[in-house]
Structure 1
């Protein structure tokens, strides 16, 4: 048994080594995060204070008024210029302009020349209106505007080499676990080079399609680049234009100004989303038409991006909530200022896995000691403790990754329980098999007691128990007595048939061993063996009340001399009032007596024996059992010959 538990412990260790890290653990941890985040929001609601951001929406209202997106860049320039007049802290566009504006007059002239061979002249415009991209670039150069990049994991020869000095510094010396891009998608150089700075907009949902986390820093080849929202903070002038990343015992430590928080190895932080109506938002068309309060923009971090449904820039942030992509950047900034940015130290997953393994070993020890109530209490206690700790930590903007503790512990608990259940089942099966063999040995010993009193019966008990099983199995295949003829019943019948003459131990030797026919008085005494057998087995039943096998044995011993027409003994039962097992035994007993040598007769031939059985159909024997016997008579002969 000790080897078994050592094997289970080693299997548990292998399970933990194989399970970390896996998508299953990450997904289960995500689901627990969603649950605990909702509980934490109920316990300690997070309120968005005076918003630090303003979202300028390219919404359905703006598209209806100004036309489909993308707008001519002269219109985009007007929008950005209007924002700039209200003195925001920083502006960022969640829009990439990777191609020249085809609505520029100069581009239109080129288009008609290239595709139609037409020389078109557009006159009457000032020179600065002939190229929308140049106009937008001039506008950008006067604004605190950041344009985005999208980092790709492959280099494409068509990638525009437009990366410029970001204007901030990220110290990531010794940190080699950042996401890395080798190519990029960015704005045309005319625009990108005029922007104050840049940041990436890479973000993706977790495997279950829900957006929870966002990286703060990535590498473009070897150069660290900040997320667009982080780049806004670094270049706004309110903080030093420098961010530090360093490995620490708790994970990756990020420092921006006087704020320090911990991330996973890839600088991912968990975002805490606020109710949609608490974000400050302005429609682009309202801003262009002057329907805004300048105070709503002054000093804000202004983010310009698409919120119109048809532009498909949307993320699922909860099972029942979808937000436009621009809200991801706004949330990161708001979380930063409100202290709601949820740190996710990279140390917690491996530490939790180790603690979970120790807890699994403790559970295994309790299993070995059969302390099952203690196991339930222990498992419930650690689950409640970790859940409470996770909720408490989330109220302090820290996530301790409890999924890496609870999920493998629950799985290991199930695996252990199944292994121990299988082991217990195997042991119980072996025990019951040994017990069954012991019962059979005891029954055979009881039958042999009768056999030693009547030596001429020899192999009679072996043959008769095979006869009755053969009959019962054939009747079961026919569908007869379905409520009785189960596999268990047939096995009980087989094992108890040898006890049919157990009552002969009470018959005097001068009658039992008389070398000749019995007198009527002696026969009456001989008939008492059925009653003696019943009484003996009734005594056993009184000691083991739920033993169905003993009841079958009692019915056989007491009723195997009853006859179908009611002329048998000791009760004179008839028809189906005689127990089925007694009716089966009656035919088997008579058949074997006829083919066997006795003190008073020579053995009958098989043919004569079969004729006598048929003659007793409906009088001595159950007609249905006789019919089954006739179909099996060859097998009866083989049993008789095999056990002579």
Structure 2
């Protein structure tokens, strides 16, 4: 703990009580200097005339009354320096030492005397503080360079050697009475290293986000090309893809704005469903053209084959995931392609899921797909009117579709009509 040997009182330096005690043995003890010589013990102080004392030294405390009554053994105090008057003015102040233990000023001054007599004082040389701070800054600069060139092992070796050098220097200086805290090196370096690691983490995250966006864009382009190919293969048009993704986006936005499914629907969800909606029928690439383009109602067997397009789509996307890894775009694409024919009451396909077992994006896509299928002309049917289409979908609330999603559709049916007219097949 630091101990001040001279106090500044009204611009005058007054020797500490401990030095006053020793002045009766050595008049030099009260001479103010950063190089002290007391009873032949030479030591240094810092610029504030402070030294570091060892607070673990043992200082006996006895009652003055016991001394006067000769109740204290002579050998316990003979040849010792005794401080009498623990309650004198200015001596009542308490000091905290190691372990937050509190001792009186008298005990503290006795410890200073004991440290001087046993020649165990230390002092802190502030020039080493500056050296260590500069060293930590230099190591930080080298760390930046090494990290930039990915020399991680060299950086680790350099840090270990530097740390050992600092500890060895601190130990050697301690032997000469100079205390150097390794914290002057470790703390600035640790703070800077933490700031740098945080910076690199942020930069890496930004780079990863950019990379992920490029991957999403590439995957979206590839899968959307497949969906356009399905349109040609299945006599569907590009208008169907545009319309359905806009319907899905409208429903998701309505649910978000009216606080439905707030634990699932976010702005990112809305953006994602817009880009993944075109993937809902890519599995039709694996269905026979004779079935897809049949100008009549499917037989039971043909319908069973047709239902396999959801499984084929899942297999296609699963293969992409196996080679490139899972991400939100592929996950939602798979959910939509695999689950958009599931029904709220469990009568859908391919898994027969019901209610909240069906992914929300698949439920939304189911409504969008059915609406566009009904209002569009196909080789096997004529288009339905907007009024009939709306009535049919509203009837499916709680049967084929989530009632909450149908509620959104009810409020959006005029906007659906505008989208259908704007992107009508030519």
- Indicate whether the TM-score tops 0.5: yes
CA contact 1:353–1:404 (8 Å) conserved in 2: yes
Other-structure match for 2:42: 260
Other-structure match for 2:231: 451
CA contact 1:315–1:322 (8 Å) conserved in 2: yes
Secondary structure (helix, strand or coil) at the match of 2:47 reads coil
Residue 421 (str. 1) matches residue 217 (str. 2): no
Bigger radius of gyration: 1
Other-structure match for 2:178: 398
| Aligned counterpart for 2:319 among listed residues 542, 549, 557 | 542
Separation in 1 of the partners of 2:391 and 2:29? 113
CA contact 1:244–1:256 (8 Å) conserved in 2: no
Q: 1:563 to 1:440 in 2, by over 3 A?
A: same
Separation in 2 of the partners of 1:360 and 1:459? 58
Separation in 2 of the partners of 1:224 and 1:555? 82
Separation in 1 of the partners of 2:80 and 2:353? 103
| Aligned counterpart for 1:285 among listed residues 32, 46, 65 | 65
CA contact 1:499–1:553 (8 Å) conserved in 2: yes
CA contact 2:313–2:337 (8 Å) conserved in 1: no
Secondary structure (helix, strand or coil) at the match of 1:347 reads helix
Give, in angstroms, the shift of residue 267 of structure 1. Answer: 1.4
Give, in angstroms, the shift of residue 419 of structure 1. Answer: 1.5
Separation in 2 of the partners of 1:551 and 1:406? 45
Separation in 2 of the partners of 1:292 and 1:628? 94
Separation in 2 of the partners of 1:403 and 1:492? 50
| Aligned counterpart for 1:468 among listed residues 248, 254, 262 | 248
Secondary structure (helix, strand or coil) at the match of 2:248 reads helix
Q: What is the number of equivalent residue pairs in this alignment? A: 418
Separation in 1 of the partners of 2:147 and 2:266? 36
Cα deviation digits, residues 153-212 of structure 1 (max 9, x gap): xxxxxxxxxxxxxxxxxxxxxxxxxxxxxxxxxxxxxxxxxxxxxxxxxxxxxxxxxxx2
Separation in 1 of the partners of 2:289 and 2:423? 26
Other-structure match for 1:622: 401
Give, in angstroms, the shift of residue 297 of structure 1. Answer: 7.0
Q: Which sections of structure 2, spanning at least 5 residues, go unmatched?
A: none
Separation in 2 of the partners of 1:481 and 1:216? 67
CA contact 1:443–1:495 (8 Å) conserved in 2: no
Other-structure match for 1:412: 192
Q: Which sections of structure 1, spanning at least 5 residues, go unmatched?
A: 1-211, 246-251
Secondary structure (helix, strand or coil) at the match of 1:355 reads helix
CA contact 1:471–1:628 (8 Å) conserved in 2: yes
Q: 1:379 to 1:291 in 2, by over 3 A?
A: same
Separation in 1 of the partners of 2:63 and 2:253? 85
Other-structure match for 2:15: 226
| Aligned counterpart for 1:496 among listed residues 250, 273, 276 | 276
Separation in 2 of the partners of 1:417 and 1:222? 48
TM, length-normalised to structure 1: 0.53
Other-structure match for 1:193: none
Residue 335 (str. 1) matches residue 115 (str. 2): yes
Give, in angstroms, the shift of residue 442 of structure 1. Answer: 2.0
CA contact 1:463–1:639 (8 Å) conserved in 2: yes
Q: 1:527 to 1:577 in 2, by over 3 A?
A: farther
Give, in angstroms, the shift of residue 381 of structure 1. Answer: 6.4
In terms of fraction of residues, the more helix-rich structure is: 2
Q: 1:261 to 1:567 in 2, by over 3 A?
A: closer
Other-structure match for 1:70: none
Give, in angstroms, the shift of residue 293 of structure 1. Answer: 7.5
| Aligned counterpart for 1:611 among listed residues 358, 369, 391 | 391
Separation in 2 of the partners of 1:299 and 1:576? 93
Alignment of 1:323-402 (within 5 A): 323-370=103-150, 386=166, 390=170, 394=174, 397-402=177-182
Q: 1:556 to 1:341 in 2, by over 3 A?
A: closer
Other-structure match for 2:2: 213
CA contact 1:244–1:255 (8 Å) conserved in 2: no
Q: 1:271 to 1:243 in 2, by over 3 A?
A: same
Other-structure match for 1:305: 85
Q: 1:643 to 1:289 in 2, by over 3 A?
A: same
Separation in 2 of the partners of 1:555 and 1:296? 88
CA contact 1:393–1:399 (8 Å) conserved in 2: yes
In terms of fraction of residues, the more strand-rich structure is: 1
Separation in 2 of the partners of 1:592 and 1:304? 101
Separation in 2 of the partners of 1:233 and 1:346? 28
Separation in 1 of the partners of 2:30 and 2:402? 102
CA contact 1:242–1:256 (8 Å) conserved in 2: no
Q: 1:558 to 1:524 in 2, by over 3 A?
A: farther
Secondary structure (helix, strand or coil) at the match of 2:179 reads coil
Cα deviation digits, residues 459-487 of structure 1 (max 9, x gap): 211221232344456668676797x8787
Other-structure match for 2:54: 272
Residue 439 (str. 1) matches residue 219 (str. 2): yes
TM, length-normalised to structure 2: 0.75
Q: 1:501 to 1:526 in 2, by over 3 A?
A: farther
Other-structure match for 1:640: 420
Separation in 2 of the partners of 1:363 and 1:290? 68
Cα deviation digits, residues 314-340 of structure 1 (max 9, x gap): 322333433222233332232222111
Separation in 2 of the partners of 1:396 and 1:603? 98
